Amino acid sequence: MNLLQEKLSKYDEPQKVKASGLYPYFRVIESDQDTEVKINGKKVLMFGSNSYLGLTNHPKIKEASIAAIKKYGTGCAGSRFLNGTLDIHVELENKLAKLVGKEEALVYSTGFSVNMGVVPALTGREDYIIFDELDHASIMVGKQLSFSKLMKFKHNNMESLEKCLQKCEADKIKLIVVDGVFSMEGDIAKLPEIVALSKKYNASIYVDEAHSLGVLGDHGRGVCNHFNVTDDVDVIMGTFSKSFASIGGFVASNKEVINLLRHTSRPYIFSASATPAATAAVLAAIDIMLSEPERIAHLWDMTHLALDGFRNLGFEIGHTETPIIPLFIRDNNKTFLFTKMLFDEGIFVNPVVSPAVPSNDTLIRFSLMATHTKEQVEIALDKIGKCGKQLGII
């Protein structure tokens, strides 16, 4: 055994959880991603999906993807920079820019690669990247790839953010990077306050709209639109794997920023283009979102039903205001056990344990879709409440 193999063989945490019979990952789904899925031939209610608008099996989106494959084939066989730009890529970028209120947009092959490729491209060695401690992992990777000075502020804490800004040199770029909706906690960035601080200290703002597009704002246009601060935010990014029922991501900003990224962002330049099917799916999803506002209205009805239900049951759910509802367990083993008990009851949820979060912050991530029914949410609340009492969580 060489040194590499010897080192890696010591990583045995997954094996320990598997041995306990509580391993909750890579559960194989045998059906479409709907409010009910089939796993090992068993039907379970899905409350672990990011498909907030419930569009992953919408017939119009499937038809659009099939039509794109028939016209363009299954792939682009190259990057956007060289041979991989299709007319539908450009059409989607124009539609996205208009959707979020910016001059131009760029489509990337994944949402992760947007943050990984954009964050380090915007600032230089003498500049500052200032980030929320609970920003998404893709932002964390992006800032690690930067040569800029890095400053972390406490989660959604404006006093902590201002202290960071006060330490920065006045004549250097200061880029504040935040999630619009935080993906595990479900709370919303304090954008109006962040904008006020950015103006006070001449800073710029970058907002990750991954979990707010399709959820907040006019017809789902996102958190910047929700707070009416679009013009005050310099860069907006979003993903296609949540509300838009596909895969990929985008960044939107003014022409100067997009021009720079188009020619310098390595994950954009050196990644194969988004597939025709994925691109066409997003185009169709945006049309459905804009033409069916009742989807978002129902999503919020189910969200309020669940939020009230969990509070009444006595669960600790933090400061969430969105369809992402954390049920704090604060114990790794109990989190795994709770997940298994719920799965045995026919409820699919996602466990979030250390090292993804501190061991005293472990949680169950419960998320809603616009296609969930009142009956399904009430069934979930009943079974989650029963299991929570059995484990002594509530």
Query: Residue 356: pLDDT above 80?
Result: no
Residue 34 φ then ψ, to 5°: -125, -175
> Which among 322, 365, 269, 279 is positioned nearest to 74, based on CA atoms?
279
pLDDT digits (tens, 9 = 90+) for 297-315: 999 999 999 999 999 999 9
For residues 100 and 254, the answer to whether their CB atoms sit within 8 Å is no
Which one from 89, 149, 242, 372 is the annotated catalytic residue? 242
Residue environment code for 289-326, b if the CB has 16+ CB neighbours within 10 A, otherwise e:
beebeebbebbbebbebbbebbeebebebbebebbbbb
% of the chain beyond a pLDDT of 70 = 100
**Beta strand pairing call for 42-46 and 347-348:** parallel
- State the pLDDT at residue 355: 75
37: which strand partners?
Answer: 44
- State the pLDDT at residue 107: 98
- State the pLDDT at residue 360: 85
The answer to whether 304 is a known catalytic residue is: no
CA distances from residue 244 to 50, 222, 274, 392 in whole angstroms, order as listed: 10, 13, 14, 38
The answer to whether 183 is a known catalytic residue is: yes
The answer to whether 242 is a known catalytic residue is: yes
pLDDT digits (tens, 9 = 90+) for 37-65: 999 999 999 999 999 999 999 999 999 99
**What's the mean pLDDT when you consider all of the chain?**
97
CA gap 394, 389 in Å, rounded: 5
The CATH fold of domain 59-291: Aspartate Aminotransferase; domain 2 (3.40.640)
pTM higher than the cut 0.85:
yes
Cβ neighbours for 321, distance < 8 A, ≥ 6 positions apart: 186, 187, 188
- State the pLDDT at residue 223: 98
> Which among 243, 363, 367 is positioned nearest to 302, based on CA atoms?
367
Which one from 211, 226, 298, 372 is the annotated catalytic residue? 211
Query: Residue 282: pLDDT above 90?
Result: yes
pLDDT digits (tens, 9 = 90+) for 52-108: 999 999 999 999 999 999 999 999 999 999 999 999 999 999 999 999 999 999 999
216-221: long-range contacts, CB 8 A cutoff, minimum separation 24 = 216/180, 216/181, 216/188, 216/322, 219/289, 219/290, 219/293, 219/296, 220/53, 220/289, 220/290, 220/296, 221/99, 221/100, 221/101
**Beta strand pairing call for 324-328 and 128-132:** unpaired
> Which among 216, 233, 152, 221 is positioned nearest to 181, based on CA atoms?
216
pLDDT digits (tens, 9 = 90+) for 157-185: 999 999 999 999 999 999 999 999 999 99
Q: Does domain 12-46+293-391 have CATH number 3.40.50.2020?
A: no
- State the pLDDT at residue 1: 76
Query: Residue 111: pLDDT above 90?
Result: yes
- Domain borders along the chain are 12-46+293-391, 59-291
Q: Map tokens 């490729």 to a residue.
A: 117
- State the pLDDT at residue 296: 98
- N- to C-terminal Cα distance for the chain? 48
- State the pLDDT at residue 354: 81
Which one from 65, 146, 183, 273 is the annotated catalytic residue? 183
Element (H, E) at 257: helix 255-264
- State the pLDDT at residue 260: 98
